[in-house]
Amino acid sequence: MKAVILTAGEGTRMRPLTTTRPKTMLITGGKPLIQYNIESLRDAGIKDITLVVGYKKEVIQDYFGDGSEFGVNINYAVQDGQLGTAHAIGSAEKFIDESFIVLNGDIIVSYDLIRNLIEKYATRTSNDVKSVLTLIEVDDPSSYGIVSTMNDKIVEIVEKPCPEEAPSNLANAGIYLFSTEIFDAIRETELSERGEYEITDSLEIELKKGYEILGLISHEPWMDVGRPWELLKCNADFLEKMEDDIQGEIEENVTIHGPVHLGKDSIIRSGCYIQGPVFIGDNCDVGPNTYLRPNACLCNNVSVGNAVEIKNSIIMDGTNVSHLSYVGDSVIGVNCNLGAGTNLANLRFDDKHVKVTVKGERIDSGLRKLGAIFGDEVKTGINTSVNPGVKIGNGSFINAGCVIYQDIDSFSLVTTETNLIVKKLKKDDE
């Protein structure tokens, strides 16, 4: 058994975090999203994995290499253009010579789900069974591909039906097991109305040929990470399962409650108070007198100064959070510098849900508490305040004393005189 992970997309709903990396390389729980799926496949006995890459593919290739450090063998198939799921799977054909599992890189699945999928295929009673779809029960069928089944077999797949016309409440979870015959169906697949080659259309071709497709109704946990606040939820879910792992140094007079991961060459200085679960990566310097609250995730080479408070946030590699700052429910990119007294607010005055602009549309996050989203290399001056749900693009400078109440484009300079963008620092590559 082999596996294919689809990781060629841009992840535009995650901007500005995905301006410099694919969505599947965003960090949660101390690891890139896609690494969880690679480890689940490995633990299920699948070690020959093809990653279908495209956007910023070098970021993935540089991190995983040939896969040997992760206990697997990784090949790379390049998808030229974003032409749909069937097109992406077809890109991996030269590496596949037996039955294989397909996962989306941003849908994190458990080891148990993968084992159940393999067992379902292994116990098939007919050689006409060519595919297995993982199905989940949903309340709103209008957002999914909905299938109807008979005796465990797929009869029909309907894309995003009206609730009153849905044939069932069973949705296609986007987790598949295919025989190599799927490539024949992909070659026969035509462009859909959306201008893409849809894998559901390929499956319909298999059904018309008389092939059988099984449905596996799964109740195993899985996570679909599509927007920045879902990254925080995913991070919290993984940290809740974390156990103590202390590899660095803890000075005297540090108080710790709950599990903490402290990486190599990292130090927690005197006077810090930590409520786990908290993840601290390698070569980090925390404190003194810092307060780390549950679900704080500090990646590698992060520096946190005196009297800083961080709660339920992801701080990516190389970022510095200077003294007297507060970071709540936020995602901060690589190599940022938060000047002393920077406050990232996470709660509205009216206590309503925080809204965020995603692809030009104001979206209700469904959360009462949500802070800021910073791209890479953002710098804030002392006493900067950022309102809930604000996004600041890559390479932007925020002058001292600014109150940021709206999204800031990449490579912008904001001053206290106008509190508006006054200069583009260089060409915005978003």
Which residues does the annotation mark as catalytic?
A: 323
User: 398 with 383: CB under 8 angstroms?
Assistant: no
- Torsion sign over Cα 52, 56, 57, 63: negative
Q: Could you tell me the maximum CA-CA distance found in the chain, to the nearest angstrom?
A: 74
Q: Which long-range contacts (CB under 8 A, 24 or more apart) does 41-46 make?
A: 41/3, 41/5, 41/72, 41/101, 41/103, 41/114, 42/70, 42/71, 42/72, 43/111, 44/111, 44/114, 44/115, 44/118, 45/1, 45/118, 46/1, 46/2, 46/3, 46/101, 46/114
If we measure between CA atoms, which residue out of 6, 24, 1 comes closest to residue 117? 1
Pairwise CA distance, residues 413 & 423, whole Å: 5
DSSP 8-state secondary structure symbol assigned to residue 207: H
Residue 315: half-sphere exposure toward Cβ, Cα within 13 Å: 34
Write the burial class of residue 428 (CB in 10 Å: 0-12 exposed, 13-18 middle, 19+ buried).
middle
If we measure between CA atoms, which residue out of 15, 174, 27, 204 comes closest to residue 88? 174
Per the DSSP assignment, residues forming a β-bridge with 88 are: none
CA angle, residues 210, 214, 219, in degrees to nearest 5 = 165
Tokens 């800021």 locate to 372
Radius of gyration of the chain (CA): 23
First vs last C-alpha separation in the chain: 39
In sequence order, what DSSP letters do the residues of 7-67 get, joined into one string? E----GGGTTTTSSS-GGG-EETTEEHHHHHHHHHHHTT--EEEEEE-TTHHHHHHHHTTS
